[in-house]
Amino acid sequence: MVYDWQFIVLMVVAVLLTGISKSGFAGGVGVVAVPLISLKASPTFAVAVMLPLLIVMDVFSLRAWWRYRLGSLLWLMFPPAVLGVAVGYLTYGVFDEALLKVLLGIFSILFGLWGLFKPFRGRLMPAWIGGLCGGIAGFTSFIAHAGGPPLNFYLLQCRLSKEQFLGTAVVFLAATNLVKLVPYGLLGLLNVANLTIALLLIPVAWLGVRLGLVIQKRLSGELFFRIILGLLILLGIRLIVDGWG
């Protein structure tokens, strides 16, 4: 891997956008980080470096949103998420890097389109849908730190206040990231090189979280969502082209 200026810029932008997303927008567009980094590095490297940074962001975000969490929704969605992480661990290595890029590209396009159009927003869904979304969120979080879209898919129709929505999402994603530490460690993804890069990017993670808190108070998140989700679709197309190339 070549650590050129393009790689550094992609890492900084990915971490900054993820921090903004996690603290201000329930992690919904933080999914952009792994596809973005994967333009210059392997998806495996991307998820390995991002996990410690996500946990650092979670610590910052929990201080702001912990008191707004809804325990009933967390108990509904988090246990299936643990199972989803386990499925991700058990299937790790099944896909080669090219296929993983294609799958990641497909996920990116689907999440981007869903985020832009939100076809099920406002429709009440049964509890089992929440459990299913939790399980999918655990799996997609394991393979690409993409737990936000499946989580938000269910939370958006629960008619929560902004504070309840953010608090529940932040706690769910933080708990899921902690669970992922075990399988990531067992797979050898948390090595010295990856942890060193993550350590150097902690100030960028902190800055992203602070910006997210400011943005969500002063600006409508809709435009931010649309720009990043549009970028996510373009990244998905690029990853599919790279994977098939």
Q: Which two tokens stand for residue 189?
A: 């993804």
Average pLDDT of 152-181?
Answer: 87
Confidence check: pLDDT of 77 > 80: yes
pLDDT at residue 127, as a whole number: 92
Confidence of residue 219 (pLDDT cuts 50, 70, 90): low
Q: Which two tokens stand for residue 63?
A: 């201080």
- Is the pTM here over 0.85, yes or no? no
With contact defined as beta carbons under 8 Å apart, do 18 and 30 qualify?
yes
pLDDT at residue 185, as a whole number: 95
Confidence check: pLDDT of 74 > 90: yes
CA separation for the pair 168, 151 (Å, rounded): 10
Q: Which two tokens stand for residue 11?
A: 């890492």
| Ordered alpha helix ranges (H), the chain | 5-24, 33-37, 43-65, 71-90, 97-117, 127-144, 148-155, 162-186, 192-200, 202-218, 221-244
Confidence of residue 174 (pLDDT cuts 50, 70, 90): very high
